């Protein structure tokens, strides 16, 4: 395999490539594990401060009752998860949670609402949340479902740093997971976010029972966007009883992705999107310390802290601090490469 110091990883001048083929991405997945890790770590060190991991906090600001039928999600109306739907949180409660997250060391505060799309009547409160969190000096991120052009522009004016909208899986596997919106709907929202001048956060979930070819397709879809997402969360499915995929995996546990394949996915995301923040997201609470260490070696450099991610458990601040101490990692202080590059060009 050609070294990734060659044009395989860049376009020859050190800039990220957007012309990856599925064959090239599949070849990365097929590398011997030690070669893949070596290449991923080299790419990571060329573009990111090694030994630093960004700490983020995720809060569910509106839980449950979503009309989408995403097969992995306990917040869907079609899931029999027992989750009780709530209304949009009070702005003051959200800002209090953000202040607590900052005190715990988070640099980025992410807010998620279980909506197909926000209603215009919700936007004033959303704007107030964004503005309030930014005034604390925290980076802001929102995930609210699909957006109209006007809503994206409203969030941009409010100063939103990132908008999260995951593509979830490959284009080919998408309809097996969700039927209430299309893969193109996802791409359309990402385009509105990008056009509004907001940084893009988009990744997906592995362990849905998909084939490796779907993991190839998932990364290919992101790595061939005109501009890579500034943030790429990679989630391991947390099977929830009462959801389609949670019940399926309970019956067919061999469909669950193994740890080495998950690490391979992180490494390939790092190589193909060298300047993006690659976030080790949901599913981390069930990973061993060794698996998490391999993910960091593969180029993951952002995690969610705290005891909860929306409606599922998370590792917790104490465990994270102990793991960081064991691995010699430190909370990130450096600039995010893609954001720094964009700001320098303005």
Residues classed as catalytic: 66, 70, 73, 110, 141, 201, 279
Q: Are 186 and 168 in contact (CB under 8 A)?
A: yes
Q: How far is CA 113 from CA 64, 87, 144, in A?
A: 8, 10, 5
CA distance 29 to 294: 15
User: Which pair of tokens denotes residue 91?
Assistant: 């702005």
Q: Are 161 and 130 in contact (CB under 8 A)?
A: no
**Which residues have CB under 8 Å from 288's CB, separation 6+?**
259
User: Which pair of tokens denotes residue 266?
Assistant: 């992180």
What angle, rounded to 10 degrees, do the helices at 123-135 and 149-158 form? 30
CA distance 334 to 48: 8
Q: Are 166 and 193 in contact (CB under 8 A)?
A: no
């Amino acid at each position: 395999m050609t070294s990734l110091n060659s044009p395989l990883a860049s376009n020859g001048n050190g800039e990220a490539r957007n012309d990856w083929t599925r064959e090239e991405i599949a070849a990365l997945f097929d590398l011997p594990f030690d070669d893949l890790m070596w290449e991923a770590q080299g790419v990571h060190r060329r573009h990111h401060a090694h030994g630093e991991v960004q700490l983020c906090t995720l809060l569910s600001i509106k839980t449950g009752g979503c009309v989408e039928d995403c097969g992995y999600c306990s917040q869907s109306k079609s899931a029999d998860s027992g989750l009780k739907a709530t209304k949009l949180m009070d702005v003051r409660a959200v800002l209090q949670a953000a202040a607590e997250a900052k005190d715990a060391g988070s640099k980025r505060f992410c807010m998620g609402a279980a909506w197909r799309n926000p209603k215009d009547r919700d936007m004033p409160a959303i704007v107030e949340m964004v503005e309030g969190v930014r005034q604390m000096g925290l980076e802001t991120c929102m995930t609210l479902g699909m957006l109209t052009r006007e809503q994206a522009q409203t969030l941009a004016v409010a100063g939103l740093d990132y908008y999260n909208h995951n593509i979830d899986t490959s284009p080919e596997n998408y309809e097996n997971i969700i039927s209430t919106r299309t893969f193109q709907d996802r791409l359309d929202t990402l385009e509105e976010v990008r056009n509004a001048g907001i940084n893009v956060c988009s990744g997906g979930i592995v362990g849905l029972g998909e084939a490796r070819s779907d993991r190839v397709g998932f990364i290919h879809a992101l790595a061939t966007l005109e501009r890579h997402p500034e943030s790429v969360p990679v989630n391991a499915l947390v099977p929830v009883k009462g959801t389609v995929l949670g019940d399926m995996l309970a019956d067919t546990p061999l469909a669950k992705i193994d740890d080495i394949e998950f690490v391979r996915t992180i490494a390939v995301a790092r190589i193909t999107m060298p300047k993006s923040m690659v976030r080790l997201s949901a599913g981390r609470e069930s990973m061993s310390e060794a698996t998490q260490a391999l993910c960091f070696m593969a180029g993951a450099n952002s995690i969610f802290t705290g005891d909860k991610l929306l409606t599922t458990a998370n590792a917790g601040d104490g465990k994270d601090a102990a793991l960081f101490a064991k691995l010699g990692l430190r909370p990130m202080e450096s600039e995010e490469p893609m954001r720094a590059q964009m700001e320098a060009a303005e």
